[in-house]
Homo-oligomer: A and B are copies of this chain.
Amino acid sequence: MLAPIIKVDAISKSFGAFKVLDGLSMQVMPGEKLALIGPSGSGKTTILRILMTLEKIDGGHIQIDGEQLYHMERNGQLLAADERHLAKMRQKIGMVFQLFNLFPHKCVMDNVTLAPMLTKGMARGAAEKRAMELLDMVGMADKAKAMPAQLSGGQKQRVAIARALALSPKIMLFDEVTSALDPELVEEVLNVMRKLAAETDMTMLLVTHEMGFAHDFADRVLFFDRGRIVEEGKPDEIFRHPKQERTQGFLKKIIAAGHRV
């Protein structure tokens, strides 16, 4: 049997007195496409940020690709991971943010080549060749020399995707990558992601409020509520026949607000 690429084991996380994640466990198989849905504040963003090591955890364990993420073994003991270990683990993971977070002082090409050149010591030529392929894939090859400020939101987000891909991570995390976009620009980004899902065997975790897209994209859907996974299953099961009352209520509200499922 194939081993899970992500193994989250009873992790918890609080901000001050507020418990955001409460003994959360989950497993993701290599190549799986996961959609994380649920009401605002339920901890979806937080779990992605934890996987990207942008937040620390308070308890529990996470294994990525067979290795501990926040811990390291030294002489049979589990110690808190140091920066070196974290840097090594981060190579396996890429993330795309809701607000793109492109580097505004660098052109599109430099945004994509910066990390490979600095962290993998890639030569400029090789890095730019690879960047061009990726920009081509997201349909942004002709804007390679543009500055981020000159791009529309949808274009920025496509560059951000290319930038994350440039490090060839095994796992990609997407946090509401379309929710800051004008409605008309959403589709161009979703198209890129569909293509990505179809063409690569990367593991992908996606937080979204676009239920329609979640349905088409995901192999499995996790429904979050108050820091726990309340229900999970195939998209059809979750969207058409939710078992939990909380899930039913959530979907009903979303539909009433005018979103298509």
Q: B-contacting residues of A (Cβ < 8 Å)?
A: 39-40, 182-184, 186-187, 190, 209-213, 253-260
11 additional contacts (CB under 8 A) given A39-B184, A186-B258: A40-B182, A183-B209, A183-B254, A183-B259, A184-B253, A186-B257, A187-B256, A187-B257, A211-B258, A212-B258, A213-B258
Q: Is the CB of A258 within 8 A of B257?
A: no
Q: Which residues of B contact A258 (CB under 8 A)?
A: 186, 210-213, 259-260
Q: Is the CB of B254 within 8 A of A260?
A: no
Q: Which residues of B contact A190 (CB under 8 A)?
A: 257
Distance to closest chain B CB from A256 (angstroms): 5
Q: Which residues of B contact A209 (CB under 8 A)?
A: 183
Q: Which residues of B contact A213 (CB under 8 A)?
A: 258
- Cα–Cα, bound, A190→B258 (Å): 11
Distance to closest chain B CB from A139 (angstroms): 17
Q: Which residue of B lies closest to A257 (CB)?
A: B186
Known contacts A183-B209, A209-B183; is-contact A260 B253 (Cβ 8 Å): no
Q: Which residues of B contact A39 (CB under 8 A)?
A: 184
Q: Which residue of B lies closest to A209 (CB)?
A: B183
Q: Is the CB of A184 within 8 A of B259?
A: no
- Cα–Cα, bound, A28→B210 (Å): 36
- Cα–Cα, bound, A9→B212 (Å): 42
Distance to closest chain B CB from A145 (angstroms): 25
- Cα–Cα, bound, A258→B213 (Å): 8
Distance to closest chain B CB from A151 (angstroms): 15
Q: Which residue of B lies closest to A208 (CB)?
A: B258
Q: Which of B40, B187, B253, B255 contacts A253 (CB 8 A)?
A: B187
Q: Is the CB of B260 within 8 A of A184?
A: no
Distance to closest chain B CB from A192 (angstroms): 14
Q: Which residues of B contact A211 (CB under 8 A)?
A: 258
Q: Which residues of B contact A256 (CB under 8 A)?
A: 187
What are 5 residue pairs bridging A and B, where the CB atoms are less than 8 Å apart in the complex? A40-B184, A187-B253, A210-B258, A212-B258, A258-B260
Q: Which residue of B lies closest to A39 (CB)?
A: B184
Distance to closest chain B CB from A44 (angstroms): 13
